[in-house]
Structure 1
Amino acid sequence: MTDITRFSGHTVMITGAARGIGAATARRFAEEGARVLLTDRDGPEVETTAARLRKQGHTARARACDVSDGASVEEAVAHAVDVFGALDVLVNCAASCTPDTPLFEDGPDAAWDRDLDITLTGTYRCCRAALPHLATTGRGAIVNIGSVNGLQDFGNHAYSAAKAGLGSLTRTLAGHAAARGVRVNLVTPGTVRTSAWEGREEELDEIRSLYPLGRVGEPEDIAAAVAFLASGDAAWITGTALTVDGGLTAVNTGFRTAVRHPDDD
């Protein structure tokens, strides 16, 4: 729980907000005073998440939204403006990650298309629908959720390509939107403990040793970075990627462990 109220009077729309990073981000904005519209393809679950925030005294609404459907996206954005009177911040969390086939050449087109359509094109649809409204407030901001998969090889061909594409979209849209008073940035998480890792605790324990800071991320770590980039504290930051990965991409922990200095013994 934070006692900061940077977003008092702001309206924030978040995709993929039913659980994980999206839900934690919604909670962070709500705790900082924002009116939050949580959207997700899973309508009942996102309503449960929003209801939990309302029970805590926050202003939160939920709406089913499929980012692969342009009409659904347009309706969700219009709903945010209709209910709250404006839209100040868009956070794009919705993503799809299909496991790779053992051989690259066996990967089906449908899986590739799905991951890119939801993760990359879905973000494009949301930005396109929201930008005219963000441009009217004088404090508009978009924060996209990328991944270290878009920076280095961690598997998942389609998902990684989509996340890399988000880096390019963030930069090009930032260039366009700056003149309209809207900032666009990217948060690049490493491994985060979400429901995708349920039942894989031993694997997470092994992964933890690869992180210089000694742990994997929590959804709240990413939510804090998103809130910073969306806030007035980042008023002179646009078109950038903030890597929140416990040092994973900066330090080759495996190499440092394998090549030990003679004085280490």
Structure 2
Amino acid sequence: MSILISDLTEVAHAMADAAGEAILPYFRARDLDDENKASDGYDPVTIADRAAEQAMRAVLADRRPDDAILGEEFGAHSGSSGLTWVLDPIDGTRGFVSGTPTWGVLIAVGDATGPFLGMIDQPYIRERFWGADGRAQMRGPLGEHALATRASRPLTDAVLFTTFPEVGTEAERAGFEAVARGVKLVRYGMDCYAYALLAAGQIDLVIEAGLNSYDIQAPIGLIEAAGGIVTDWSGQPVHEGGRVVAAANANIHRAALDILAGHL
């Protein structure tokens, strides 16, 4: 398996490189057009999203043609290898069109049980986080080093992130706010970068709702490799999406689940 992980990691790096090259010419472009995919609200997609996913699919067509693919913009492509790559070319497109550098390229690969390799890449600030097989790393302006999630601490000392203040439904927001009242610090609007910070040992919890599989599979692979836990709000697997709790360790995970249990 270690040889396979090495090969897959190399391919993931090539995909992230290709996606970054496709995206960066459009970042903070003053004339960038976006389309709204939502029937109500605002869920943008840009030419950069589509170009990045096409670039990643081209790498897979060349190097892993027998693998299946599930991508946010171009859907599913079947394969015969038993492995599936799950791609979100720009997670955080709202942030992308606003010019904030908290969006990222999400790449995961796994089997029917879920992802075993995850990568979060932020090409503008040149930070890349990846992990598999119990080992997680990052590369950035200060070099490359191993990642590990934070050690156990009381919920009252925890740092909690989510992307949207409204979280999801009214009931889901109530669940999030019940946890938020018990922590030291809450921050919003970080998209996939919050999960990277959790893997890097900077924060303790990310709680979200309404996610798709392509939103969460890369964070699962990365965070689990760094020593953390990612489940749904009842502690079950969440690689198909839904309500997500990502935690630095088992104790903080249990503390959050105990509170969320009253809001399921």
The normalised TM-score by structure 1 is: 0.27
The structure richer in helix per residue is 1
The normalised TM-score by structure 2 is: 0.27
Q: Rg: which structure is higher?
A: 1
The structure richer in strand per residue is 2
